Structures are given as structure tokens and as C-alpha cells.
Amino acid sequence: MTTDATQHSLFTVPRSTADTSSKPLPEKSSTEAQKEKPAPPPVTLTTEELIEHIFQSMCKGRRWERELLLGANDQELGRSFGNCWCSGQTIELQFRAEDEPALRAVDAVFKTEILTLSASTIATHIRRIVGVPQLKSAKEREAALDGRFDALRLNLRREVLPYIRSLLGEKTPRKTKKAAVAKTGLSEQVASLLLTSDCLTERAVRRTLARITVLLIRQGNHDALAAAKHAVSIVEAATGRWRSAMAYWQDTDEPTSYQNPIRARHETTLPPVPDN
């Protein structure tokens, strides 16, 4: 780790060439001197200020809902940026998902090492800035996820409701002060059938399609073919939103989660061995 004197040389704005020139400058009139703005003072960062600037910037660019809800241990939190490279005018950062140091900061011009931090130290800064708690117990995490998923289902049903209304040709009901209880229309009944706890399984999809189709035929006066088409469109719209939401909570789209590529059949099947 460098000293404050080295920090000054690395993060100080370079002086203008006009200041270092040995040639005498022509005198300027008083009006020109008044129009000129004073040069900005050199910017110097101590090591502590540099670290604070790094993590304030990095924490703003990442989503922390999962860690705030479930908590995280120091190793998980210290590696939460994965394998990440950030390049600026004066400094380059390298976060590592494995091995130590977990963070290496290098001068962008001279490529000299400025500082390194371990995963546990990174976790300390993230907890202080974001407020991530320690990892909760398995029961606490399960209960927290159940509550979050229930709220997420309600929100997604509200999001897909305008699409259902437009598909079925229903108008949005007007709100009246006299109506104490809102009337449940056909679109609301259809939306209530969506996004069950097992909505992504084949059995649940078939069950939901059948229920919506029957509901549209009986109460919506749709013919069987139109009802079936509407049911497929509605279920696909809802499940697509659910998959998109679950990609974050189930950690399936994180860049640090490596999955083996799926090869074509002709790539995985061994060629026949010729007979001798």
C-alpha cells in the first residue's frame, strides 16, 4: 500500500504546460484578467478516501434486494461483484471471484499497484454502505422468500391485468364512491388463477389453461377455439414475467455462476469405431 506522498502524485491533477514554460508571458489587460477564472486546486485522495469512493460507486451499480432480505456471510458478500474489471482515467479496479486479494487497484497510467483488499474487508465496507445483515438461518430465509414471492405474485397479477382486459375486450371499471366493495370482473377472475406456487410445472400449466378456457366459455361467451387461444396467450404472458423475476432470486443469471454449455447431439455422440 502506498504512502500519502505517493497518493498525491497518483491522484493530483497535472499542472498546465503554461505554468512550467520558461518563456515570459505577455502582460494582459485588467479586463482580460478579470474574465479569467482561477485554476481549480489539485485533487488529492488519501487511501481511506479512495476506498470510500470506490465502494460508494460500486454499491450504487448493483442490486442488493436478495442480500438485504436473506443476509450474507463475509465470503459471499466479499465476492458479490464477481469477476469484474473497472477502468477509469486514473485508476483500474480488478475484483476477483476466487483467490486473494479479492480487489486489486492499479494506476491506469503507470500500472503500479495502489492497494489490495481481502474479501472480508470488502464485505465490511459493503455492510456499512448498503446495510446487509449477516446470513440468516435456513428457516428465516425460507419464510422471508415465501413472503416475498407472495407479494411478487400479487404485483405480477396486477401488471398482467390490463393485458387480459384488452385481450378479452373488457373496459377498466370506473371507481365510484358508493361502491364499498369493488366488483370482480371476468379479467380479475382470470388473473386470480395465474402464478400458483407450482406455475412453471407442466401439470400446473395444463391445469391453468383448462380452468381459464372453461371460465371464458361459460362466463365470457367465447367459443372454444378463441377461449383456448386467449388462455395460452394469458398464461404465456404471466409465466414469462414470473421467469424474469425468478432469474434474480434464484441466482440463475449471475455472471459468476458458470454453467457448462449445452452441446448439440452430433457433438456429444462419439463417432462409430471402424471394424478392423
Q: What is the tens place of the pLDDT at every residue in 54-71? A: 999 999 989 999 999 999
- For the chain, the residue count is 276
Q: Classify the phi-psi angles of 200: left when phi > 0, otherwise alpha if psi is within -120 to 50, otherwise beta.
A: alpha
Stretch 7-23: mean pLDDT: 45
User: What pLDDT does 44 receive?
Assistant: 74
Say if residues 209 and 235 touch (Cβ distance below 8 Å).
Answer: yes
Stretch 47-55: mean pLDDT: 93
Q: What is the pLDDT of residues 122-167, one digit of tens each?
A: 999 999 999 999 999 999 999 999 999 999 999 999 999 999 999 9
Half-sphere exposure in the Cβ direction for 75 (13 Å, CA): 3
Stretch 246-273: mean pLDDT: 49
Please state, in angstroms and rounded to a whole number, the distance separating the CA atoms of residues 105 and 8. Answer: 16
Please state, in angstroms and rounded to a whole number, the distance separating the CA atoms of residues 143 and 136. Answer: 11
* Residue 226 scores a pLDDT above 60: yes
* Residue 3 scores a pLDDT above 60: no
Task: Between 8 and 238, name the one with better pLDDT.
Answer: 238
Q: How confident is the model at residue 5 (pLDDT cuts 50, 70, 90)?
A: very low
Coil, strand or helix: which one is 171? coil
Say if residues 199 and 205 touch (Cβ distance below 8 Å).
Answer: yes
Q: How confident is the model at residue 29 (pLDDT cuts 50, 70, 90)?
A: low
Q: How confident is the model at residue 12 (pLDDT cuts 50, 70, 90)?
A: very low
Strand 91-95 relative to strand 84-87: parallel, antiparallel, unpaired?
A: antiparallel
User: What pLDDT does 171 receive?
Assistant: 83
Q: How confident is the model at residue 24 (pLDDT cuts 50, 70, 90)?
A: low
Q: DSSP letters along 26-64, please?
A: PP--HHHHHHSPPPPPPP---HHHHHHHHHHHHHHTS--
Please state, in angstroms and rounded to a whole number, the distance separating the CA atoms of residues 153 and 160. Answer: 11
User: What pLDDT does 36 receive?
Assistant: 53
Q: How confident is the model at residue 235 (pLDDT cuts 50, 70, 90)?
A: very high
By percentage, how much of the chain surpasses pLDDT 70? 72
pTM (predicted TM-score): 0.68
Task: Between 203 and 40, name the one with better pLDDT.
Answer: 203
Q: How far is CA 96 from CA 73, 102, 117, 137, in A?
A: 17, 5, 11, 27
Nine-digit cell string for 240? 414469462
User: What pLDDT does 149 receive?
Assistant: 95
Helix axes 47-60, 4-11, angle to 10 degrees: 50
